[in-house]
Amino acid sequence: MLILYGLPVSTFSTKVRIALHAKGIAFDERPPPGGYRSDAWRAIIPTGTIPAIDHDGFLLAESEAIIEYLDEAFEGPALLPGNAATRARIRMLARVHDLAVEPAVRALFPLIRDPARRESLPTLAAAIEERLRQLEQLRSGEPHWMAGAAFSTADCGFAVTLRLAARLLDALGHPLDMPASITGWLSRSADHPAVTAGLAPWHPATEAWLAQALVGASK
Ligand SMILES: N[C@@H](CCC(=O)N[C@@H](CS)C(=O)NCC(=O)O)C(=O)O
């Protein structure tokens, strides 16, 4: 059976978990041996990051490469559907997620752990909101999924990251101002079975991490 090396709380592991559910691929999820960044894990995946997959001995890291591999190697609904232009837009939005939106959200982590860092909250929140305005323009009012009529790899990452952004900013007392079309996409995504299944382990793990980090921060 295909192995997903990942953790419930990890954004990029959850992105791949959603893709696996969308393709209907049976998988066994395991934590990276020794933990991510550990020497034991780096001996397997030199970057030390999660997620990675093991498909009958074929090891692969990097969420977007993994999803494209799964799409080509397995039957099931296409995660890069459509013609060349649609597929290019899917890849573009998936990169905007990985390279622009997710890093802007990740920048909030130190503020959760350390109240002394929270003076940068307005700046970081504004940076996320600016990224979301850009995303809205890039999507040009797409009424269905992130990049068109069909659910795609472009939906998998945003389904995690936009929820995380809203949850972290809420915890920091600065509710996220999300463009209306993105809010609409977010509520549609909640009803997609792959998103529901992929997020099922992520929700409690995120709440547990947040509770622990906030308690640590108040000491
Ligand atoms: N570009 C990578 C990013 C993966 C990533 O940053 N994963 C985080 C967990 S969500 C991680 O492993 N962080 C440890 C590190 O960066 O050393 C991908 O798409 O898989």
Q: How far apart are CA 30 and CA 58, in angstroms?
A: 16
- Whose alpha carbon is nearest atom 14 of ligand 1? 49
For the chain, the domain total comes to 2
Looking at residue 181, which CATH number applies to its domain?
A: 1.20.1050.10
69 and 88 in a common domain: no
Decide whether any atom of ligand 1 lies within 6 Å of the 62 Cβ: yes
Amino acid type, 33: P
Candidate of 5, 9, 12, 101 to mutate for ligand 1, largest count of ligand atoms within 8 Å of Cβ? 12
Tell which of 73, 103, 135 closes a domain: 73
191 and 109 in a common domain: yes
How far, in Å, is the centroid of ligand 1 from the Cα of 47?
9
55 and 7 in a common domain: yes
Half-sphere exposure of 75 (CA within 13 A, CB side): 0
Give the pLDDT of residue 115: 94
Ordered strands of the 2-5 beta sheet: 27-30, 2-5, 52-55, 58-61
Give the pLDDT of residue 103: 98
Give the pLDDT of residue 216: 74
Decide whether any atom of ligand 1 lies within 6 Å of the 148 Cβ: no
117 and 184 in a common domain: yes
205 and 129 in a common domain: yes
Tell which of 27, 52, 73 closes a domain: 73
166 and 67 in a common domain: no
Point out which residues pair with 59 in neighbouring strands: 54
Orientation angle between helical segments 153-171 and 180-190, nearest 10 degrees = 110
Does 111 map to a domain? yes
Does 105 map to a domain? yes
Mean pLDDT, consecutive 10-residue segments, the chain of 219 residues? 98 98 98 96 97 98 98 98 95 98 98 95 98 94 89 98 98 95 95 98 98 82
Give the pLDDT of residue 183: 95
Q: Which residue range forms the structural domain that includes residue 95?
A: 84-218
Tell which of 19, 42, 73 closes a domain: 73
Judge residue 206's burial from the number of C-beta atoms within 10 Å of its C-beta, 0-12 exposed, 13-18 middle, 19 or more buried.
buried
Decide whether any atom of ligand 1 lies within 6 Å of the 157 Cβ: no
Decide whether any atom of ligand 1 lies within 6 Å of the 136 Cβ: no
How far, in Å, is the centroid of ligand 1 from the Cα of 44?
15
Q: Could you write out the DSSP letters of every residue in 161-199?
A: HHHHHHHHHHHTT------HHHHHHHHHHHT-HHHHHHH
Give the pLDDT of residue 181: 93
Give the pLDDT of residue 142: 78
Looking at residue 41, which CATH number applies to its domain?
A: 3.40.30.10
């850009």: which residue's tokens? Answer: 134
Q: How far apart are CA 25 and CA 17, in angstroms?
A: 10
Give the pLDDT of residue 143: 79
52 and 103 in a common domain: no
Does 142 map to a domain? yes
61 and 25 in a common domain: yes
145 and 111 in a common domain: yes
Decide whether any atom of ligand 1 lies within 6 Å of the 63 Cβ: yes
Does 78 map to a domain? no
Give the pLDDT of residue 141: 75
Q: How far apart are CA 167 and CA 175, in angstroms?
A: 8
Decide whether any atom of ligand 1 lies within 6 Å of the 8 Cβ: no
Q: How far apart are CA 216 and CA 214, in angstroms?
A: 5
99 and 124 in a common domain: yes
Would you say the pTM of this structure is higher than 0.85? yes
106 and 53 in a common domain: no
Give the pLDDT of residue 133: 96
159 and 107 in a common domain: yes
* Nearest-10 Cα torsion for 56, 157, 6, 59: 30
Point out which residues pair with 212 in neighbouring strands: none
Does 79 map to a domain? no
Point out which residues pair with 29 in neighbouring strands: 4
Decide whether any atom of ligand 1 lies within 6 Å of the 32 Cβ: no
